[in-house]
Amino acid sequence: MGLDWGKWFMGLMAALITGGAGSITTTGAAGWIAPESFNMAGGFHKTMLLFGSAFVINGVIGAAAYLKQSPVPIERPPRDIWTDAQRAAAAAAAKPHPLPDAAPKP
């Protein structure tokens, strides 16, 4: 048993990216509200600066929400260790059984 750090870290990264994905809508809304400042022609630098800063801020908020829900990794469940007899019994139970004949033979 131990802590499942890999699963916890993947969840944290997913929360960070999901929160940062909101920066796309933020940048789109800024281009819709103030097209003279945030566009792909003259205001490209401002647009990318807004995109990057919104990504970081939304990502940090998403990561903080994940850490509130799952502050430490969960403990891995213990592994089942089977004996040879248990393996043989499981293999025998998994074999298909022949079906009985539908009609009795005379």
Task: Tally DSSP H helices, then E strands, for the chain.
Answer: 3, 0
- Asked if residue 33 belongs to a domain, the reply is yes
Residues of the chain with pLDDT below 50 are none
101 within a domain of the structure (yes/no) = no
Q: Is residue 100 part of a domain?
A: no
CB 73 within 8 A of CB 1: no
Within a domain: residue 103?
A: no
**Structural domain includes residue 105:** no
28, 13, 4: which is closest to 60 by C-alpha? Answer: 13
pTM value? Answer: 0.61
Residue 102, domain member (yes or no): no
**Half-sphere exposure in the Cβ direction for 101 (13 Å, CA):** 4
Please report the pLDDT score of residue 103 as a whole number: 64
Per-residue confidence (pLDDT) for residue 102, from 0 to 100: 63
Cα–Cα distance for residue pair 23/63, rounded to 1 Å: 15
Output the pLDDT for position 91.
84
> Based on the structure, what is the number of domains in the chain?
1
Checking phi first, is residue 74 left (phi over 0); if not, alpha (psi -120 to 50) or beta?
beta
Give pLDDT tens digits for 27-54: 888 888 888 887 777 778 888 888 899 9
Give pLDDT, residue 94.
80
State the residue range of the domain holding 34: 5-94
